[in-house]
Amino acid sequence: MSFIRHVGKIGDRKVAVVFRQIPGEEHMCLVVYTETLNAHIHDPLMQCIESDIGQNSENLADALNRTHTRDGKIILQMLHYEGLLKKTQTSQVVMTPTPTTKIRLDELNKILTEMQMGEAAVKRLAEIDQSAGLQDPADVARRMRVAETNKSQVTATSGALGDTELANNLRQQAMKMAAEAKGLLAESDRLLKEASQLEGVKPETVKPKSTRSKKAVTT
């Protein structure tokens, strides 16, 4: 069964969704009623939708702006000039990518947005693609909560492993700094002795203090 993007219905009338969302009015979209089009626009428009360019375009408008009518005019411009682009609410449009799959455009827009935020939305879209009919919003929300909970648990586990690795890195850095400090102290002592020799002064040797306590002198 083929999957065709950008096609749907408003009531019983077939439409092609040219813009899924209008910038600044994300609850609105632009559609064209395909059954009212003249053949010189309708046929190349449908061919554009079914082409690789049309199916790979996020918005059908991008593909229509590169496709021409039979008389050589850009389809998107013709739809605009002839007033064939209709502004309507996304909740009124039901997308029909297959004869047995239906999903409201406002729900589809939410899914496509969420797909950029994680795997949970991808699974949700796959479930709708495999189903016949509109999804129960409550059921979808329940599945999303379960997926997010599982994702949080995985993130927490990954974070613990990251802390262990970070601690090891800090420990290695501390050991390296200690070794460098020891070398600098040795170099400092050498330079002090060399300076004393140049001045003809015998370097003073500081004897370490005894840790043993002196015995008391008895009289």
Query: Contact 15/33 with Cβ under 8 angstroms?
Result: yes
Q: What are the structure tokens assigned to 139, written together?
A: 């059921």
User: Minimum mean pLDDT among 9-23, 47-61, 103-117, 205-219: which range?
Assistant: 205-219
- What pLDDT digit, counting tens, does each position of 115-132 carry? 766 666 667 777 776 665
Return the bridge partners of 17, or none.
31
Do the beta carbons of residue 37 and residue 84 sit within 8 Å? Answer: yes
Strand partners of residue 89: 28
Q: Give the HSE-up count for residue 164: Cα atoms under 13 Å, Cβ half-sphere.
A: 5
67-108 pLDDT, tens digit each: 999 889 999 999 999 999 999 999 999 999 988 889 999 999
Higher pLDDT, 191 or 36: 36
- pTM of the model as a whole: 0.54
Segment holding 18, helix H or strand E:
strand 13-19
pLDDT of 1 above 50: no
DSSP 8-state symbol, 35: G
Is 204 a residue whose pLDDT tops 60?
Answer: no
